[in-house]
Structure 1
């Protein structure tokens, strides 16, 4: 009984915090803010696992990837009708000025999230023979030995397909997802105050 009260209290605090963060947002802006929060929550939930700080759970990775897929691609871009700016929104005008690039990033996020789901069967790089440290835990991320995950924005590397992710360590696929989120935020989201 006491555990249920703790869970209920925690859930109430989280819901109140999310509501406060989106206070004043309405309509499509509120909808997209809720979608972005869902994406952020998945990244925060999976990051410790990718760093080897919590046990790897393939089902949790697949569930998180499913959430990402539902908020990416066309679903994401549909929440950005031109001029949909409210004071609480962090969207920059560059979304509409560079619409094709924004669409490309939304599609990449969807593809990479689908790939992350498939890679859950592989496990972390550290658990693979001859792979060394995990990508997020100080291994190859950002190094010249990291696999190419290009697909636009001036990159010359090979475009990754969903099937390519199926044989990739999960933390490598996760790094690709995080890279896509970061690229989008750098160009299309205002800095936090």
Structure 2
């Protein structure tokens, strides 16, 4: 299976890009880059388990979820005061022009991470993988572009309690989708 080398390549590329992106960062920009690095490290610590390349460990997943929660909500939004864009920051100006959406994603990350922490004891869904279990490429009906997916009937975001009932890999995929949605909308792509 080619998953392990691919994951290793992605992780190595991400670490190298992160090191370059931090060049010259100080103050609040450095603080937020460090917070994003901590969350990135949390993702990297559980990705091998989610792909089957490492044995599943619920405590490692709970620790990752706690890291996401620690850096979500107001803890995240306070790291983005208006006027703190520009190099070396990777923040797009749309953070400040679409502040309500950005803040909603920061809150959603905390809610999903809370559910992920509780879902850690549920174990993995099995060899079918989260994509097959969840109905294809989307996150339970979300398009991944306007709020991180995972909408319930009536347009309400899923609660931590709903996510806590999922298999751990599905809960992780939903939490990671919030990160991806935020990066897609509010972070410049590395060259």
Task: State the partner residue of 1:157.
Answer: 151
Give 1:68 deviation, angstroms: 0.9
Q: How does 1:1-193 map to 2 (within 5 A)?
A: 21-126=21-126, 133-135=128-130, 139-141=132-134, 143=136, 147-148=140-141, 153=146, 157-158=151-152, 159-193=157-191
Query: CA contact under 8 A between 1:90 and 1:190: conserved in structure 2?
Result: yes
Q: What TM-score, normalized by structure 1, do the two folds share?
A: 0.79
- Deviation track 1:123-155 (CA, whole Å, cap 9, x = no partner) reads 0001xxxxx6121xx533561896456999377
Q: Aligned with 1:125: secondary structure?
A: coil
Give 1:48 deviation, angstroms: 1.3
Cα pair distance change 1:148/1:118, threshold 3 Å? farther
In structure 1, distance between residues paired with 2:49 and 2:111: 21
After superposition, the CA RMSD in angstroms is 2.8
Where does the alignment leave 5 or more consecutive residues of structure 1 unmatched?
1-14, 127-131
Q: How many residues align?
A: 172
In structure 2, distance between residues paired with 1:29 and 1:63: 25
In structure 1, distance between residues paired with 2:31 and 2:101: 22
Cα pair distance change 1:144/1:95, threshold 3 Å? closer
Q: What TM-score, normalized by structure 2, do the two folds share?
A: 0.80
In structure 2, distance between residues paired with 1:118 and 1:50: 16
Higher helix share: 2
Where does the alignment leave 5 or more consecutive residues of structure 2 unmatched?
1-14
Task: State the partner residue of 1:5.
Answer: none
